Structure 1
Amino acid sequence: MRIILASSSPRRSDLLAQMGLKFEVIPSGQEEKVVENLPPHQLAVELALKKAESVAKRVQGCALIIGADTIVVKGDKVLGKPKDEDEAFQMLMELQGQVHEVITGLAVMEMPTRRCVTAYEKTLVEMAPLTRQDVEGYIRTGEPMDKAGAYGIQGLGGMLIKRIEGCYYNVVGLPIHRLWVILKEFEVEVFTERAV
């Protein structure tokens, strides 16, 4: 079956490739707008579903479309991708020395039936105490600018993280165990349908 990743995230592409699946990328083009009054896990799932639905409108024939959206939650505040360096600085100063949640919503939609399975994964992340100079130096690398919460655990941002509780891949942007469980519901045999 044709598998489509509804995301332009290179990290998600890398993780899907790590699973060994043949897939293509069709970015959703959906803006990641925060929907007010939704609990964070529902927000992440809703954003993932919107991405899958956006791509579904453009797909002919049989396919499985994978939508994913990752958010960072500190208290009752949802942190998406920073719009500029000032916002990245504010986010990192808010997260430093604290524990926050990373939530990824998943939506896997089968075409043409439009049957959809959704789920989410939550990981607790403790960021080390950081100085203003630490944060400014990290921002100068450019790494924080396209990532929820303004850091990438799989890159230089990994040095900022003291510990995690839960799925590491979720923090990167695609909880591969949770996705594997969903794919099995659609009878995708990851170990036998591997890309060579």
Structure 2
Amino acid sequence: MTHTFILASASPRRRQLLAEAGYSFEVDPSDLIESEPLAGVAPAEYAADLAWRKARAVADRRKTGLILAADTVCAVGAEILNKPIDRDDAERMIRLQEGHDTEVITGLCLYRADRPEWLGAVEISVVRFRPLSDSERRSYLDSGRWEGKSGGYGVQDHDPFVTVAGGSFSNVVGLPMERLAELLAAHPNFMK
């Protein structure tokens, strides 16, 4: 790949996806405090805004470079599920999703720090979440695998109760690689 990014994220999953796709990048997390969404804000709007704010924070600090930022949330209907704050919050999220399809929404932002100009996109995938028995739920919550994961689960961890029912697998992991490639291909002058 000819593009070198400054990844505005500390996510090991995003780093792995970029590395596996052959992109060159360095990591400079935005350290943006992710505020809870305001009432009535659509999940896609919320994810896109957070991605833009993360990219802008790094661009303001760096002054040059191509910043890549993303933010992934889960949504059941209009309810946005961020990363659980504790075990009780993880249980609430898991119970809310059980037996339902959950949307996994990633806002993606490419930001040119030196101009400043930016491109954005939103990718939506669907995850099917099967009902859990009380012992399965308790075992999962006790494992701590829900920590740091939007919606309280990670499809990349092969959690047996979730399957990608539609859309991009990499989006569910946290970075829609197909959409990133489309943005880069559709806007070659943006990269110069």
Same fold per TM (> 0.5)? yes
Q: 1:175 corresponds to which residue?
A: 176
Q: 1:114 corresponds to which residue?
A: 116
Distance in 1, matches of 2:147 and 2:113, equals 34
Distance in 2, matches of 1:14 and 1:72, equals 21
Count, aligned residues: 186
How high is the sequence identity, in percent, across the aligned residues?
37
Q: Say if 1:26 and 1:55, in contact at 8 Å, map to a contact too.
A: yes
SS at match of 1:23: strand
Q: 1:136 corresponds to which residue?
A: 138
Provide closer, same or farther for how the CA distance between residues 78 and 57 of structure 1 changes in structure 2, counting only shifts above 3 A. same
Q: Deviations over 1:9-30 (max 9, x none)?
A: 1001101111101100000001
Structure 2: gaps (5+ residues) = none
Q: Deviations over 1:108-149 (max 9, x none)?
A: 001201110000000111111111211111122221110000
Distance in 2, matches of 1:35 and 1:75, equals 14
Distance in 2, matches of 1:7 and 1:71, equals 15
Distance in 2, matches of 1:38 and 1:75, equals 12
Is structure 2 residue 158 aligned with structure 1 residue 151? no
Structure 1: gaps (5+ residues) = 189-196
Q: CA deviation at 1:60?
A: 3.6
Distance in 2, matches of 1:71 and 1:133, equals 26
Question: What is the TM-score normalised by the length of structure 1?
Answer: 0.90
Q: CA deviation at 1:38?
A: 2.0
Q: 1:85 corresponds to which residue?
A: 87
Task: Give RMSD over aligned pairs.
Answer: 1.5
Distance in 1, matches of 2:126 and 2:146, equals 19
Distance in 1, matches of 2:10 and 2:182, equals 23
